[in-house]
Chains A and B, each alone.
Chain A
């Protein structure tokens, strides 16, 4: 079974600054996907970014980028130029690429990010 660990329950960042959220995972799979999802207060879960394990290049989406270290099983999210609208719970999630149990997302417990004006 896969496990996802987010060791930072809460973080805060000043508006316009950069923040990095940590995520580690444990799996015996070699092919998989990793995701960061954002859940704003009282709003639905939104995909932030996706990384395929077979890709060495780190994914980037505008102000969001990841640092994927496959050997270390680490998948951190960097948010640049933080905005007030980035305030949310951030969940790291794992998905097997194929076989039994694939298509299921395994989530970490989340990191609550507050952007301070």
Chain B
């Protein structure tokens, strides 16, 4: 049983560029979550999916952010027109609906916007 994987692990981009991150959850998990963690802070919820449906979005998820989970398996998080304030660790987690409530986290994608 492999854990949650994320790709890439690190991304450096220039302000104004678009970036896309991928998350592969634990295979039998149908819930998938995205969080953002800035330096010295705990993770903050961005959005979550149950299967392919995006059920909740945080107000932190501005119009420049979009997330998809087209087949209910992997998910992508895209940030358009990146800003320096987008620099953070982007964490993905997964869990099983009807199972234990705890979420299992991936290693994260560290985004640096220059």
Residues of A participating in the B interface, judged by any CB pair closer than 8 Å: 4, 33, 35, 37, 43-47, 50, 91, 93, 95, 100-101, 103-110
Contact = CB atoms under 8 A, between A and B. Distances in A.
B56 A105 contact: no
Given A91-B42, A104-B45, A107-B43, 19 more contacts: A4-B42, A33-B101, A35-B102, A44-B3, A45-B43, A47-B102, A50-B101, A50-B102, A95-B101, A103-B33, A104-B33, A104-B48, A105-B35, A105-B45, A106-B45, A107-B42, A109-B40, A109-B41, A110-B41
Interface in B60-114: 91, 93, 95, 100-108
B91 to A, nearest CB: 7
Counting contact residues on chain B (CB < 8 A from A), the size range is 20 to 34
A104 B56 contact: yes
Interface of B: 3-4, 31, 33, 35, 40-45, 48, 56, 58, 91, 93, 95, 100-108
Contacts of A104: 33, 45, 48, 56, 58
Most B CB contacts (10 A, CB to CB) among A37, A45, A47 go to: A45
B91 A45 contact: yes
Contacts of B58: 104
Contacts of B107: 43-44
Given A104-B56, A109-B42, A44 B103 contact: no
A101 B56 contact: yes
